[in-house]
Amino acid sequence: MRSHLSFVICHLSFIIRHLSSVIPLLLTLTGCDFLPLTPTPTPISSLPPPTPPPSTPTPTSTPQSQPLIVTLTLWVPEQFNPYGERPGADVLAQQLADFSKIHTDLQVEVVVKKAHGRGGLLDFLRTARNSAPSVLPDLVVLDTADLEAAADSGLIQPLDNFLSPAEISDRFPFAVALGAVEEQTMGFVVAADMQQLAYRPALLNSPPVSWTQIVSSPVPFLFPAGGRDDDQVNDATLIQYLAADGKVTDPDGNPWLDEEVMVSVFDFYSTCISTTVISPAVVLSITDADQSWERFQAGEGGMAVVRAGRYWLEADEAVAAAPIPTRDGQPLSIARGWAIAMVTDDPARQALARLLLNWLVAPDHNAQWTQATGYLPGTRSALRLWDISNADRAVLHKVMEAAVPPPRPEVMATVGPAMQDALEAVLRGRTTPKEAAAAAVESLD
């Protein structure tokens, strides 16, 4: 009987051993094959580890990692301060805020600095690169006159690989030239300015396009003839000289003046004086195109050479716009501007900075901002989006297509004062146009 019981217990212990971790402890009380009832003590460490009963895991919430916020730094001149009080500041501020809303992992820090001189944008770029490169911006808006110096110093990177073919071909010729350094695009023009004509339709049925039409009209003509602070000739006279096919350098690039062309320009002014279209005292008292616009707004003159930025920001229905009349009726103006440039040379940051660059130069954004500020856009698409009449757009398009960059500063430093001295001598009646032109050419030698 005991033998049979032992057999049953042995088989039962085999089954129970695989059902519970507790049963093996009980089986030590009974032996198999007539083992004694008193078990041999077994060290606890030799026992198989207890198997926990299966259970349904309780869901737990895993904290999600927060996205990394990258700060892109943009340096701008004081006149582009998005938090200032200049016209269009609120438009730029809103565009930057919208950019961060769309790109939730990016935010833009705007640093405002002087446009030129000690502590200005170019000066600070040079200083920071040598002493604190970590504070350099990703993008910077520079005067296009400073692009070459910035590029030669290795402070900015070429943009050709960051711009689409459509963006490149959409630019006006002046914007292409202003943004280029040795055939590379070093800056994308986001704001430009140039001179144009403002006239009163009540006094003129149509705007004059040539010198002949100005001379034959009985309407007083205003333009800035007074010398600037640096004794440079104003763009208004330089435009007339260049439009008459005048050159400021010889084939070797040295400063040079075409005496014959200068005589023709001064003859035009002399004829305007004799027909009372020009008052020497009045035009010599005007030293820049802003003053010309302000005096025109005050009721002086029937036509005036003015700064486009002031006109398109402040003009009313009593005035109209036109290209500046030239000798042969072919429009021409001199464009100056501001361009956005890439500073960072880190490929990862360049990829992010490109998003902001494309956002700011997008036609709809640039059109909205430039029209609010009075600046002109650098692209045809942006001009098409300006909220102006088709007739006004056609005039502005004609002026901008014919605009050219200014001559190089080092050339104008020599040529400009010579032209201004000759101009003043003619307007004051001290000398003839031919004598004044000859004196200007001789002064260069």
DSSP string, 353-384: HHHHHHHHHSHHHHHHHHHHHTPBPSBHHHHH
Angle at 123 between CA 119 and CA 126, to 5 degrees: 130
**Mean pLDDT, rounded, for 20-45:** 37
pLDDT of residue 34: 34
Q: Do 295 and 437 share a structural domain?
A: yes
| Average pLDDT value for residue range 357-379 | 97
Flag whether 39 is in a domain.
Answer: yes
d(CA 216, CA 218): 7
Please say which residue of 367, 386, 401 terminates a domain. 401
Is residue 97's pLDDT more than 50?
yes
Assess if residue 60 is contained within a domain: no
Give mean pLDDT, residues 205-219. 94
Closest C-alpha among 216, 220, 237 to residue 228: 237
Model confidence at 154, in pLDDT bands (50, 70, 90)?
Answer: very high
- Taking the C-alpha atoms of residue 115 and residue 77, their distance in angstroms, rounded to an integer, is 5
Beta strands in 229-346 (DSSP E): 303-307, 320-322, 333-334, 336-342
Indicate if the pLDDT at residue 10 is higher than 60.
no
Residues 37 and 104 in one domain: no
Confidence check: pLDDT of 52 > 70: no
Residues 317 and 424 in one domain: yes
Give yes or no for residue 46 having a pLDDT over 50: no
Of 101 and 60, the structure prediction assigns the larger pLDDT to 101
Give yes or no: residues 94 and 225 share one domain.
no
Residue 413 has pLDDT above 60, yes or no: yes
Q: What is the pLDDT of residue 228?
A: 80
Are residues 135 and 212 located together in one domain of the fold? no
Confidence check: pLDDT of 63 > 60: no
Phi first, then psi, for residue 64 (nearest 5°) are -80, 140
Residue 370 lies in a domain: yes
Residue 57 lies in a domain: no
Amino acid identity of residue 37, one-letter, is: L
For residue 120, report the phi and psi dihedrals to the nearest 5 degrees: -80, 180
Residue 31's domain comprises 2-43
* Inter-residue contact 328 to 179 (CB < 8 Å): no
pLDDT digits (tens, 9 = 90+) for 243-275: 999 999 999 999 999 999 999 999 999 999 999
Q: Which residue has the tokens 């008193």?
A: 38
Residue that is last in its domain, among 384, 401, 418:
401
Q: How far apart are CA 310 and CA 127, in angstroms?
A: 35
- Which of 368, 372, 308 has the alpha carbon at shortest distance from 337? 308
Cα separations (Å) of 86 from 30, 82, 116, 362, 388? 99, 8, 18, 22, 21
pLDDT at 105 over 80: yes
What is d(CA 224, CA 290) in angstroms, rounded to the nearest whole number?
9
Query: Same domain for 254 and 134?
Result: no
**% of the chain beyond a pLDDT of 70:** 85
In a domain, 58, yes or no: no
Tell me, yes or no, whether 55 lies in a domain: no
For the entire predicted model, the pTM comes to: 0.83
Q: Are residues 305 and 438 in the same domain?
A: yes
Whether residue 414 lies inside any domain: the answer is yes
pLDDT at 53 > cutoff 60: no
Q: Which of 46-55, 229-238, 326-335 has the lowest mean pLDDT?
A: 46-55
pLDDT at 66 over 70: no
- pLDDT at residue 67 in the model: 53
Give residue-wise pLDDT tens across range 310-352: 999 999 999 999 999 999 999 999 999 999 999 999 999 999 9
**Predicted confidence band of residue 394 (pLDDT cuts 50, 70, 90):** very high
DSSP 9-37: HHHHHHHHHTT-SSHHHHHTTS-SSS--S
Instruction: State whether 326 and 440 are in the same domain.
Output: yes
Would you say residue 65 has pLDDT above 70? no
pLDDT over 50 at 408, yes or no: yes
| Whether the predicted pLDDT of 111 surpasses 60 | yes
Say yes or no to pLDDT of 20 above 80: no
Helix (H, G, I), strand (E, B) or coil at 403: strand
Q: How many domains does the chain have?
A: 3
359 and 323 both lie in a single domain: no
Q: pLDDT band at residue 227, thresholds of 50, 70 and 90?
A: confident
Q: Is residue 50 part of a domain?
A: no
Q: Based on the fold, state whether residues 143 and 76 are members of the same structural domain.
A: yes
Is the pLDDT reported for residue 75 higher than 80? yes
Q: Identify any residues that bridge with 193 across adjacent strands, giving them in sequence order.
A: 336
- Residues 212 and 186 both lie in one domain: no
Mean pLDDT of the chain, nearest integer: 88
Strand, helix or coil at 340? strand
Whether residue 430 has pLDDT greater than 90: yes
pLDDT computed for residue 55 by the predictor: 44
pLDDT tens-digit series, residues 155-181: 999 999 999 999 999 999 999 999 999
CATH code of the domain containing 306 = 3.40.190.10
Q: How far is CA 386 from the centre of its chain?
A: 18
Lowest mean pLDDT among 37-41, 96-100, 200-204, 265-269: 37-41
Same domain, 385 and 413: no
- DSSP state at residue 45: G
